[in-house]
Amino acid sequence: MSIASVPARTNLLIRSNDHRLGRRVSCSDEFDLQILVDARSGCILGCVSPVTSAQADVLPGQGHTIKQLMKNQMYVLFTDNLADRSLEQVFRDVQQAGFNGVDLTLRPGGHVLPRDAEIGLSRARQIADRHEMSIPMVSTAITDVDSPHAEDIFASCSHYGVTRLKLGYWPYQPFGKLTQQLNETRKKIERLSRLARKYSVLPCVHVHSGDVLSNGGPILYLMLKDFRPEEIGAYVDPMHMSVEGGLSGWEMGLDLLAPWVALVGIKNFRWIETERDGVGQRRWRTQYVPLADGQAPLPEFCKRLRQIGYSGTMSLHSEYKGSSSFRSLNSPELLAQSKRDLTYLKTLMDAR
């Protein structure tokens, strides 16, 4: 059936395999648009509507035309390290650096505070639309349904077109209690998935390193394996997955998590020597470096992302401020480095 042959007010549902679902988006008072959305990535894969290509309008709360959303992978910049800039400045600078949008901090100390979720996201959406930018995701501190303002945040995301929500972190407790912690955390995830389903926003758990429960791909798999990908997503990260599984652990973790991958965070690192401890053992720590200079195998990681069919949002974290960076950059320097990183990342994702 051609688009021209679809009568006004016709609602068409497109379905595919288990990681895709049909979702209706009302684009005007005159018709409904039915689109195909990848549940893992949030990327629009196809659509059927009664409008011609010349009439294709901006999707409500998205800031991009249908054709733009279907054509390009979404590259966004994490706003955490631009906390010294207003949202107006952030969107202007991020647009000039070549990104499609932002990974917006919606947590204590973020650009939008949890108590201001509704008005803050409304303002952010207005600014994004003025700059023709997107907000496909927010980063929060939510770890359970009783986290402060949790439901307000989910509701606001739903209202303003944010489809992905990064959850907060559960700390790893003293040695010997991991199984108990995993069981308790799965109950929290189950409660969050029910809340998220109410608002059609996908909560995602970030793979991290260090003393957090979602440490590395295999542990996150244990947390998610009993949930459907449309209930909870995996937010994979090559740096943290390489820190905890530097040879093949990152790859095996990504293999396990493939059905759940809904967000990708991008950064790189190197190990640097520090002082010896009290018994004489040399200690090492991670240091953030430009994407092309680190020890996480980004070319291989991106190859595996292409292999599993990922084409959704990629958030560049640009952790280039403070003592954990190869050099502490100011905001203009950080944006310039982020632009170089983006060019490199696009080269990797476009490689065949």
Give the CATH number for residue 319. 3.20.20.150
Percent of the chain with pLDDT over 70: 79
Same-domain status, 139 and 33: no
CA atoms of 21 and 42, how far apart (whole Å)? 10
Residue 65 inside a domain? The answer is no
d(CA 303, CA 298): 8
For residue 66, is pLDDT > 70? Answer: no
Residues 80 and 217 in one domain: yes
pLDDT at site 28: 35
Q: Does residue 116 sit within a domain?
A: yes
| 225 in the same domain as 185 | yes
Task: Enter the DSSP assignment of 3.
Answer: G
Same domain for 44 and 138, yes or no, is no
Average pLDDT over residues 250-257: 97
Kindly report, residue by residue over 6-32, the tens digit of the pLDDT. 333 333 333 333 332 333 333 333 334
pLDDT at 267: 98
Helix axes 178-199, 216-224, angle to 10 degrees: 60
Q: Are 159 and 40 members of one domain? A: no
pLDDT digits (tens, 9 = 90+) for 96-126: 999 999 999 999 999 999 999 999 999 999 9
262 C-beta neighbours (distance < 10 Å), count: 30
| Lateral strand order in the sheet of 44-48 | 20-26, 32-38, 44-48
Over range 202-212, report the average pLDDT: 96
By 3-state DSSP, what share of the chain in percent is helix, strand and coil, each rounded to 5?
Answer: 40, 25, 40
At 9 the pLDDT is 33
Decide which of 28, 55, 82 is a domain's last residue.
Answer: 55
Tokens at residue 123, please? 């303002």
26 and 145 fall within a common domain? no
Per DSSP (E only), the strands in the chain are 20-26, 32-38, 44-48, 74-78, 101-105, 134-139, 164-166, 202-206, 233-236, 261-266, 268-276, 282-289, 313-316
10 and 47 assigned to the same domain: yes
* For range 49-76, the mean pLDDT: 46
Report yes or no on 66 lying in a domain. no
* pLDDT value at residue 56: 36
pLDDT bracket for residue 352 (50, 70, 90):
low
To which residue do tokens 């108990």 refer? 180
Residue 73: predicted pLDDT = 86
**Residue 52 has what pLDDT?**
33
Residue 61 lies in a domain: no
Q: Are residues 23 and 99 in the same domain?
A: no
Structural domain boundaries enclosing 16: 3-55
Of 38, 295, 79, 287, give the one whose Cα is nearest residue 166: 79
* 4-43 per-residue burial string, b: 16 or more CB within 10 A, e: under 16: eebeeeeebebeeeebbbbbebebeeebbbbbbbbbbbbb
Domain annotation covers residue 312: yes
For residue range 261-294, list pLDDT tens digits in order.
999 999 999 999 999 999 999 999 999 999 999 9
Instruction: Decide if 210 is inside a domain.
Output: yes
Of 92, 91, 26, 87, the closest CA to residue 60 belongs to 26
Average pLDDT over residues 146-170: 98
Note whether 89 and 198 are same-domain residues. yes
Claim to verify: residue 100 and residue 39 sit in the same structural domain: no
Judge if 86 and 231 occupy the same domain.
Answer: yes
Q: Could you tell me which residue, 293 or 2, shows the higher pLDDT?
A: 293
| Residue position matching structure tokens 């449309």 | 230
For residue 235, the cross-strand partners are 206, 263
pTM of the full predicted structure?
0.81
Cα 255 to chain centroid distance, Å, stands at 18
- The structural domain count of the chain equals 2
- 262 alpha carbon, distance to own chain's centre: 7
The fraction of the chain above a pLDDT of 90, given in percent, is: 77
Does 113 share its domain with 259? yes
The conformation of residue 294, written as its DSSP 8-state character, comes to S
